[in-house]
Amino acid sequence: MARSAERTKQRILGRAYVLFRRKGFTRVNMDEIAAAAEITKRTLYSHFRSKDELLATVLETQHRLALEAFETFGKKLSGTPPRIVEALFDELAAWSSKPRWGGSGFTRLAMELADLPGHPARSIAKRHKELIEAELAAMLQRAGLPSAAKRAREIFLLSEGAMALVLIHGDRAYIRAAAQAALALLGSPSTKAGLSG
């Protein structure tokens, strides 16, 4: 019985994540989530007391998965700080080329809930972004970059800004521009043809 309940909970989390990513938190209701998870609304409420609690659990799960993916990405990187920066923006370019790409779900939800500073999703998004920035700083420090934490913050700001502008304008050239700006912060011209044009 417990195994079945856990499978149901995981299905709810997966379907809710898809709906929240696609439509946003405020435009999704519990009826839609129950229908997508192929359960009754009563069953949904037996697992999650509210949509806010469900969103917080969805974000905690996604935070863990995204952090693991970023740490795995970091372990693959070696070489100079410019090489790390180029790889970071290459990954962003590849990610943004996927169909129906919507940028960072954490950023989008934090903005959607901007008028609710105490919402649990806001604090989860904040913690997520802080940990990704810290992981980037650790990568750059291991590569021997002086002032790694300061540079990581600047590079992270450029990557977040590039994502926002790609979403607004539909122009992935903002990623290349952000990569060039990040490399300039390191005092390094692009070593790749794709970033120099």
The secondary structure of 156-186 as a DSSP string is HHHHHHHHHHHHHH--THHHHHHHHHHHHHT
The domains spanning 1-48 and 52-196 adopt the same CATH topology: no
Contacts 24+ apart (CB under 8 A), 92-96: 92/159, 92/162, 92/163, 92/175, 93/172, 93/175, 93/176, 96/163, 96/166, 96/172, 96/175
Q: How many CA atoms lie within 13 A of 186 on its CB side?
A: 26
Q: Which fold has domain 1-48?
A: Arc Repressor Mutant, subunit A (1.10.10)
| Residue range 52-196 in CATH 1.10.357.10 | yes
pTM: 0.82
Q: What is the DSSP string of 24-56?
A: -STT--HHHHHHHTTS-HHHHHHH-SSHHHHHH
Structural contact between residues 27 and 113, judged by C-beta atoms closer than 8 angstroms:
no
For the stretch 23-76, pLDDT in tens is 888 899 999 999 999 999 999 999 999 999 999 999 899 888 888 888 887 777
Task: Give, for 108, the enclosing helix (H) or strand (E).
Answer: helix 105-112
Residues of the chain with pLDDT under 70: 1, 190-197
Helices 81-96, 120-142: inter-axial angle, 10-degree rounding: 140
pLDDT at 1 (0 to 100): 53
Q: Kindly list the domain boundaries of the chain, sorted by start residue.
A: 1-48, 52-196
In total, the chain counts a number of residues equal to 197
Structural contact between residues 191 and 86, judged by C-beta atoms closer than 8 angstroms:
yes
* DSSP letter assigned to residue 124: H
pLDDT at 78 (0 to 100): 74
